[in-house]
Structure 1
Amino acid sequence: MQEFYIESITWDSTYNLESEITLYVRHNGAAFRICYDPRILAASPSVLDQHHESYRILHKDDRDGGLPEVAERLRKPFEELMTQMAPPIESTRYLHSHIYPPWFILEARVAESSSHVQPHFKVALSRQEFIRPGDYVNSKFLQAHLSPLLDSKLNIYSSRQVQVLSQTSRLVPSRVLVDGTMHFFKPWVSGRVHGYHELKSYKKILADTEKSPPLLTDARICRLRGLIIDNDDDVLQHYPLNGNEEDHAGKRLVGLLLNYIESKGTLNDLAPWSDCTKEERLRWSRQIHHSVTCLHNAGVVWGDAKPDNVLVDMKGDAWLIDFGGSYTRHWVDEDKRETVEGDWQGVQRIDDWLAKWSHQPVTRIKRSGEVSGGSSVMEGVV
């Protein structure tokens, strides 16, 4: 049986003991909204007191303190009901079932003088109320970035064609199978600026690979292999249209298929360990420098250079991932974000960080084709 995953919890940020608390939970292919309304809980003074205490803890918003415990305590009474309502576990799972799960609204009720919450099923969400994932492919924000990819030889799939092999701790599909080939699934988040930046990068990588294959052939980088696009009339099959609801049929981008990199973990996970050798750190540095140089020669900026965005595969080689732009403090300065200079600043800081774990200084040499102000390569330990 799959575990329960609390996707989010909401409450009134302005201090108000009469605030409702709402949990969003995933379990066995279904999505649940659990509502705690103090007006309903007032039937039991002891349960209402518990609700007020939960709100006080949530209002402090201490995510490393009591917040996770409160969320789990509020979820627990609904565990049996959610298990009963969730659909049977499929022997072969497809992405469609994850993206468009049945949605159920549950409500906390109490009996007078009772000190326990009574879980109650309220309603299933209609199509009209369902929040559709992704973005319309013809939206003015997405079209400019997506159209060149749609016009390319890139493969397009529907979520019904994508088999889920494994998922993250957040119950989000990660390793998937399409046409006999393994891929990494990356959900498309509506309105996310980083997503547009990422599409632009992948477009350049694809165009440059076709135009000048040797330029990026041996670069160890994440690459776009396909797009997942669904029709509106193919979603939300769990619920019929309401009579007064308009059906805006269209195509929506719901995810990206990237090359799957079977990894031991990120550079951040592996480099600090004592059983990691200086030679391994040196090899990772050289590979990062080479891949970043290849990207820049293709006109692509890595963007968010940091150890968390470097995967180490099962052979011990370093791969660059995440071309969504932005920056991370302490690795790239804000005024250098999404620039070539910012990439080399991040690479330099990765070099220094790797050298720290090797407890030795780094011999700095000039990169091939290095420009003024660029960083140096971790060439050897002295």
Structure 2
Amino acid sequence: MQEFYIECITWETTFNLDSEITLYVRHGGAAFRICYDPRILAVSPSVLDQHHESYRILHNDNPDGEFLEVAERLRKPFEELMTQMAPPMESIRHLHSYLYPPWFILEASVAKSSSHIQPHFKLALSRQEFMRPGDYVTNNFLQAHLSPLLNSKLNQYSSRQVQVLAQTPQLVPSRVLVDGTVYFFKPWVSGRVHGYHELQSYRKILADTKASPPLLADARICRLYGLIIDNDDDVLQHYPLDNGEEDHSGTRLVGLLLTCIENRGTLKDLAPWDDCTNEDRLRWSGQIHHAVECLHNAGVIWGDAKPENVLIDMEGDAWLIDFGGSYTPGWVDEDKRETVEGDWQGVQRIDDWLTRWSRQPVTRIKRSGEGEGRRQGESFEGGKEVGL
């Protein structure tokens, strides 16, 4: 049976017991917005008291597990209604059904003197209200980074051409099939600044792979193989326009097709285990050093060097992922972020970290470029997200 997944919960951050609480939930082939309005719940004092208590816990962000308990308690009364309304989710379906699901707004109501929530369907979202994924390709900031990829004749697909083979626990498509080849799908998130840095890195990797094939041929790194670009008119046909409102349609970048690395887990997951040998750790260290040197020779900075951004494939080899720039404190110093020197600092700290789990030091020969402080590419602010 398909699980329910709570994508987020919203409430007023300034303390206010009259605040509404809204849940955003995925289930089956649909998305739901569940609204708890204290003005509606006020007909039942006991239900209103419970709503106030839920708000207090959410507002305090209680670390003792009560937050999750509240989220589940608020979702639970709507399970049956969501199951009735959601289209079934097939084992293999197209990506557009995830990106553009039917959205339904549900509302909590209650009878007088009752202590039970009565789930109520309010309405379905129109096209004007639907928050469209991705960014318009005409966005001036995106254009500067996307145009070279579009001009390079990189493969482009619509989400209707992409079949979903697997999902993350958050119900986000991960492994996908396009033209008989399996890729990793990474959604393009609007406003995620280091995404532009990532496009720049993949553009350099593509350009140098074509210009000098041996340069990156044997580097185990994540690569870009295609762009998923959708036309609003095509994918939003089932979202009606509000009466009298004008549609503003366009073409949007909604995702990237990357190397699909069938893996056992990240370096952080695997290196500490007792069944991991010193030979494994030494081999991974060597592979990381080699991949970083290949990237630098191609003019690309890894950026966020840390064990979470190294995947170990099913054959036991290490792959570098996530070229979105930025840095993680403890692995790379802020003043060395997105530099050659910062990458080698991160690599050395990964070696030191591997040594903690080994019975002998993990030592490497210093590579060309280690210790150099030359900055390559632009510097971006923003958090990190491991997409693979």
One fold, TM greater than 0.5?
yes
> Per-residue displacement from partner, 1:11-67 (whole Å, max 9, x unpaired)?
111111111100000000100000001111111111111111101111111355311
> Per-residue displacement from partner, 1:288-317 (whole Å, max 9, x unpaired)?
000000000100000111100000000000
> Could you tell me how far apart the structure 2 residues matched to 1:362 and 1:52 are?
55
AA aligned to 1:234 is: D
> Could you tell me how far apart the structure 1 residues matched to 2:372 and 2:163 are?
48
Alignment pair present for 1:357 and 2:373: no
> Could you tell me how far apart the structure 2 residues matched to 1:124 and 1:373 are?
54
Which residue in 2 is equivalent to 1:257?
257
**Count of aligned pairs between the two proteins:** 374
AA aligned to 2:244 is: N
Which residue in 1 is equivalent to 2:381?
none
Which residue in 1 is equivalent to 2:205?
205
> Could you tell me how far apart the structure 2 residues matched to 1:137 and 1:362 are?
46
AA aligned to 1:182 is: V
AA aligned to 1:80 is: E
Which residue in 1 is equivalent to 2:30?
30
Secondary structure, in 3 states, of the residue corresponding to 1:256? strand
AA aligned to 1:305 is: A
Structure 1 residues without counterparts, runs of 5 or longer: 375-382
Which residue in 1 is equivalent to 2:378?
none
Which residue in 2 is equivalent to 1:13?
13
Secondary structure, in 3 states, of the residue corresponding to 2:25? strand
Which residue in 1 is equivalent to 2:312?
312
> Could you tell me how far apart the structure 2 residues matched to 1:363 and 1:181 are?
38
Which residue in 2 is equivalent to 1:331?
331
Which residue in 1 is equivalent to 2:377?
none
> Per-residue displacement from partner, 1:322-373 (whole Å, max 9, x unpaired)?
0011111111111111111111111111000001011433345322564558
Give, in angstroms, the shift of residue 236 of structure 1. 2.1
Which residue in 2 is equivalent to 1:282?
282
Change (3 A) 1:372 1:334: closer
Mean alpha-carbon deviation: is it higher for 83-92 or for 264-273? 83-92
Give, in angstroms, the shift of residue 153 of structure 1. 2.6
Written as runs of structure 1 = structure 2, the 5 A alignment for 1:159-170 is 159-170=159-170
Give, in angstroms, the shift of residue 234 of structure 1. 1.3
> Could you tell me how far apart the structure 2 residues matched to 1:77 and 1:250 are?
38
- What is the percentage of aligned positions where both structures have the same residue? 82
> Could you tell me how far apart the structure 2 residues matched to 1:365 and 1:296 are?
16
Secondary structure, in 3 states, of the residue corresponding to 2:240? coil
> Per-residue displacement from partner, 1:260-282 (whole Å, max 9, x unpaired)?
00000000110010100000000
Alignment pair present for 1:70 and 2:70: yes
Mean alpha-carbon deviation: is it higher for 265-274 or for 365-374? 365-374
Change (3 A) 1:129 1:50: same
AA aligned to 1:248 is: H
Alignment pair present for 1:116 and 2:116: yes
AA aligned to 2:127 is: R
Written as runs of structure 1 = structure 2, the 5 A alignment for 1:263-274 is 263-274=263-274
Written as runs of structure 1 = structure 2, the 5 A alignment for 1:100-249 is 100-249=100-249
TM-score normalised by L of structure 2:
0.94
AA aligned to 1:201 is: S
> Could you tell me how far apart the structure 1 residues matched to 2:64 and 2:191 are?
29
AA aligned to 2:17 is: L
TM-score normalised by L of structure 1:
0.95
> Could you tell me how far apart the structure 1 residues matched to 2:174 and 2:132 are?
20
> Per-residue displacement from partner, 1:187-222 (whole Å, max 9, x unpaired)?
000011111000000000000000000000000000
AA aligned to 1:303 is: G
Alignment pair present for 1:89 and 2:89: yes
> Per-residue displacement from partner, 1:156-186 (whole Å, max 9, x unpaired)?
0000000000000000000000000000000
The 8 Å contact of residues 105 and 122 in structure 2, kept in 1 or not, is answered as yes
Which residue in 2 is equivalent to 1:378?
none
> Per-residue displacement from partner, 1:97-126 (whole Å, max 9, x unpaired)?
000000000000000000110000000001
AA aligned to 1:250 is: G
CA root-mean-square deviation:
1.4
> Could you tell me how far apart the structure 2 residues matched to 1:65 and 1:329 are?
27
Secondary structure, in 3 states, of the residue corresponding to 2:12? coil
> Could you tell me how far apart the structure 2 residues matched to 1:60 and 1:290 are?
47
Give, in angstroms, the shift of residue 239 of structure 1. 2.0
Mean alpha-carbon deviation: is it higher for 101-110 or for 240-249? 240-249
AA aligned to 1:66 is: E
> Could you tell me how far apart the structure 2 residues matched to 1:300 and 1:45 are?
61
Which residue in 2 is equivalent to 1:340?
340
